Amino acid sequence: MSRTLGARNAQFVERRNALIARAKDRLALQTGNSPSFRELALACGVSVATLRHYFGSRDALIKAVFAHYLQGGQRHLERTREALADTVTFEFSLHEFLTRVVKAWSGDTVGLLHRIGLAEGLRNRATALDYLVDVLEPTLQALEQRLQHHVTRGDMLDGDTRHAALMLLSPVLLALLHQHDLGGTRCRPLAVPALIDEHVKIFLRAYGARKVAAGG
């Protein structure tokens, strides 16, 4: 008796997701060379024909890796976008966001996706766009919304929140690349939490609203 359409579709998705996970791990390896489609198939434990059946091409496979993990990260993006309670200070909000970025980078996925995006995107313009759309931009846009909440609340000076988001996130991403992916811990270790403390204070001095006291 043949499987129902729903069961076949579920099996297809499950197999495809397993291949994405294996491809992600192989793409993230720092071997000095970008793996070919054949090497990715070998890492996934399938033939090139099978990998082509599920994804079509190497570029489409990398796009699928980004898109799959974007879905899994939606709750973290929503946490960044959501309106904050009045009791949450501007300083705490910035510190909490950057600390979550560091924690996520040190986990199993976020740092790997940035590593893949940079390594593959610098070689391929189409992959670069996929990385921007599915990995980097969702984080930046969620942060822009958080900063806009602070503008609306009167915590932050009104201005271009996209510029502000880039200024807030970029030093921490560079520090993480320096330490984790480029081997900075071996030659010049950096206390990233201390960097965040100082960076938040500088950001607050630059963007914090100067509230005029009543009657002043």
Q: Compare 106 and 148 and report the one with higher pLDDT.
A: 148
Confidence of residue 112 (pLDDT cuts 50, 70, 90): confident
147 residue type, one letter:
L
Contact 144, 161 (CB under 8 A): yes
Angle between helices 90-105 and 110-121 (to 10 degrees): 70
Last-in-domain residue among 21, 39, 61: 61
Comparing C-alpha atoms, which of 64, 52, 170, 172 is closest to residue 120?
64
Phi, psi of 190 (to 5 degrees): -130, 135
Share of the chain above pLDDT 70, in %: 93
**Distance (Å, rounded) from C-alpha 18 to C-alpha 127?**
21
pLDDT of residue 210: 66
Contact 29, 120 (CB under 8 A): no
pTM of the full predicted structure?
0.86
Last-in-domain residue among 61, 78, 97: 61
Tokens for 1, please give them.
Answer: 């008796």
pLDDT digits (tens, 9 = 90+) for 47-67: 999 999 999 999 999 999 999
Comparing C-alpha atoms, which of 196, 10, 165, 3 is closest to residue 100?
196
**Per this entry, what is the length of the chain?**
216
Evaluate if residue 214 carries a pLDDT over 50. Answer: no
Q: Compare 6 and 118 and report the one with higher pLDDT.
A: 118
Contact 66, 117 (CB under 8 A): yes
Confidence of residue 9 (pLDDT cuts 50, 70, 90): confident
Tokens for 113, please give them.
Answer: 């996706």
My answer on whether 46 and 109 are in the same domain is no
Range of the structural domain that residue 41 is part of:
5-61
Count how many domains the chain has: 2
Last-in-domain residue among 61, 87, 107: 61
- Per DSSP, 82 falls in state S
pLDDT digits (tens, 9 = 90+) for 135-148: 999 999 999 999 99
Number of H helices, E strands in the chain: 12, 0
CATH of the domain at 177: 1.10.357.10
Comparing C-alpha atoms, which of 200, 133, 213 is closest to residue 164?
200
156: which strand partners?
208
My answer on whether 80 and 51 are in the same domain is no
